[in-house]
Amino acid sequence: MFHRSQRLLLRPIWPEDWQDLLAGIADEGVVRNLATAPWPYREADARAFAARPADPLHPRFLITRAADAAVVGCIGFGPISDAANDPGAPELGYWIARDHWGQGYATEAGAAVLAIAAILGHRELSASHFLDNPASGKVLRKLGFEPTGLVQERWSCGRGGHAPTALYRKVLAGAEGDRQRAA
């Protein structure tokens, strides 16, 4: 699956992308904000991630600039990876390489992925961010995610321990009308 937004091309991650993935994510400042990526992030980790099979109902994308194909980061959604959190709605996850922080790429890619999730029939997505990463919370709120009011400890492979996370939910387009009709 591919998606073109104003400045970005979201495309599948292919095994040969491992070097570009490694170049963007092998930064402790990026990895420490993720739940499942280890630190240090090594070649074997990038190769394994790039080789994962695609899941048509839970896609993940390489975020590239449409103008020059430069890798900006990754984004996708899938089952919640932490059993301590509610396994209901799929979870949005993303990372942006440090060189591309503060340029609106996470918000632009996130809006595209929310549209894709709705097209695939998902009614709701969940998301979270570590409390010491308020920039991610800002992105989630821009995308229309609402804080649940819950803060939970979540394991971070990159940190090697648990850290508090704020939990969010987003009802996708069309699902609100379904809820109102069911009430």
Report the C-alpha gap between 44 and 96 in whole angstroms. Answer: 20
Omega cis (within 30) before 59: no
How confident is the model at residue 89, as a pLDDT?
A: 83
Which SS3 state, helix, strand or coil, does residue 119 take?
helix
Instruction: Report the chain's mean pLDDT, rounded to a whole number.
Output: 92
Number of domains composing the chain: 1
pTM above 0.95, yes or no: no
> For residue 26, what are the domain limits?
3-182
Residue whose token pair is 């989630």: 140
- Are β-strands 146-156 and 124-130 bridged in parallel, bridged antiparallel, or unpaired? unpaired
CATH number at 109 reads 3.40.630.30
Q: What is the mean pLDDT of residues 132-140?
A: 97
* Tokens (6 digits) for 41: 């992030």
The residues with which 169 forms a beta bridge, in sequence order, are 126, 146
* Tokens (6 digits) for 42: 């090594």
First to last CA, the chain: 35
* pLDDT tens, position by position, 54-87: 999 999 999 999 999 999 999 999 987 655 555 5
* pLDDT tens, position by position, 89-130: 899 999 999 999 999 999 999 999 999 999 999 999 999 999
- Name the helix (H) or strand (E) containing 11: strand 8-11
